[in-house]
Amino acid sequence: MNQNNMAENVSPLPSQVEDVIQQCKKVLEQHYQQRLTDVFLYGSSARQELTPNSDLDLLVVLPAPFDYGQELRTIVDLLYPLQLEASHWISAKPAEAQKFRAGANQLYRNIHKEGRRL
């Protein structure tokens, strides 16, 4: 099956899941404001292959420099209230904008291919 046929046969994400994703983006935009370079959905939800056990994988792209551990804690704290109401686990992590754009690792390269910019 080619990519075009696959895309045509994939159903969209449930509206409840899409709402959670958009709420995550809004919370991140409100906190980071101009520092937020991009937010990407990746993994099974971006490929529209969501299952009951799937995570909602988010990559939060920020300009360098930043402390990875501190930003990860901040993101988890920001999204925690949404997690309490979500039907899927929200898994979000920060990424340096320059490294992400350069495809510095396999995850970033996969997100470039399969991810969905929010």
Predicted local confidence at residue 12, as pLDDT: 79
- Integer CA distances (angstroms), 31 to 3, 20, 34, 36, 37, in order: 37, 17, 9, 9, 12
> Which of 87, 102, 80, 114 shows the shortest CA–CA distance to 14?
87
> Which of 74, 76, 68, 78 shows the shortest CA–CA distance to 100?
68
pLDDT tens per residue, the chain (118 residues)? 233 333 333 347 889 999 999 999 999 999 999 999 999 999 999 998 999 899 999 999 999 999 999 999 999 999 999 999 999 999 999 999 999 999 999 999 999 999 999 9
Predicted local confidence at residue 118, as pLDDT: 95
| Cα–Cα distance, 118 to 18 (Å, whole number) | 10
Are the beta carbons of 99 and 108 closer than 8 angstroms? yes
DSSP string, 84-96: HH-SSEEEEEEEE
CATH architecture observed for domain 32-117: 2-Layer Sandwich (3.30)
